[in-house]
Structures are given as structure tokens and as C-alpha cells.
Amino acid sequence: MTFRLKTALAGAGSAALLLGALGSQFIGGLAPCHLCLLQRWPHLAAIVIAGAAVATGQRLLALLGALAAAVTAGIGIYHTGVERDIFEGPTSCTSSSTGSVSADQLFDQIMAAPLIRCDEVAFEFLGLSMASWNAVLSLGLVAVWLWAYLRD
């Protein structure tokens, strides 16, 4: 298998994951949280990098593709940890105790809060959330990118 074919395969993998996320949002009605949206950007970057790698044949682009896939996998691992209460998530999309917050402050927080929380699993398949699947599959894409870089 050639370098161009391997990088096209890696780019197609990111495209499939991105299309799956968009499909779950626009067809399945699962609105994404902040961390879900962050996981999409590296896939978009990997698609662009794959296109450039296929067009130019530049081997170093495979390392950039691997980095993009690793970044989205890392965000997916973090998001999974937030969902499983291992990590504290961003304050913009998680819930915490109201403590000594006044009623006015609580009302302001509620009105300003996003509708989708990062610390709740919206969908699970075979015991893994969408963030977990993104992490697992993106680590596989890291391997494909590195395979493209190391062997021709």
C-alpha cells in the first residue's frame, strides 16, 4: 500500500468520524456539548492534512496527521473522564454544587448555562460513550498515520 493510499485512508477515517458526529447531531438529534465540538476540529485538520499529503506526497505531513488524530483522541479521553467523574470538566458545561450562591446569582447562572452538559453521556454503544469511541478510533488513526510515515 502506498503512502498516498495510507494517508487517504487516515483522512477518510477522520471524515467518517466527523460525519458520524454530524449525523448524530443533525439526523439523530443529539446536540453536542463544548467538548464534543472541540473533538471535531482536529478531525477537520486531519482531513485537510490528508488531502495535502495525497496531493504532494510529503511524508512529514503524516506526522501532522498523527498529531491531529492524537489531539482529538486526547480530548476524547479527557471528555470520557469528565463523563465518568474522573476529571472535573470545564465550568461552562458541567454542573456543580450551588454552595453559598445567592438566588439572583443562581438564576443568572441558570440563564447563562448551556443546554448540553459535558459530564453526561448522551449516547452509549457497547458500554462506551461517543467520546470514548472517538478516542479509541482516533488512536487507531494515529497508528494509520504513523504506518504511512514509517513504511511505503
Which amino acid does the sequence have at 47? I
Question: What is the C-alpha to C-alpha distance for residues 103 and 98, in angstroms, rounded to an integer?
Answer: 10
Listed in order, strand segments (DSSP E) in 51-143 are: 124-125, 128-129
Q: What's the confidence (pLDDT) of residue 120?
A: 66
Q: Shortest CA distance to 147 belongs to which of 76, 74, 38, 62? A: 62
Query: From the first residue on, what is the mean pLDDT of each consecutive set of 10 residues in the chain (152 residues)?
Result: 93 94 83 81 95 93 96 90 74 56 65 61 73 90 95 68
pLDDT for 24 equals 83
Q: Crossing angle for the helix pair 130-150 and 3-26, nearest 10 degrees? A: 170
Nine cell digits for residue 148 = 504511512
Q: What is the pLDDT of residue 84?
A: 80
Note the pTM of the prediction, 2 decimals: 0.76
Counting Cα atoms < 13 Å in the Cβ hemisphere of 76 gives 25
- Domain definitions of the chain by residue range: 3-90+100-150
The per-residue pLDDT for 150 is: 92
Q: What amino acid occupies position 107?
A: F
- Residue-level pLDDT at 62: 95
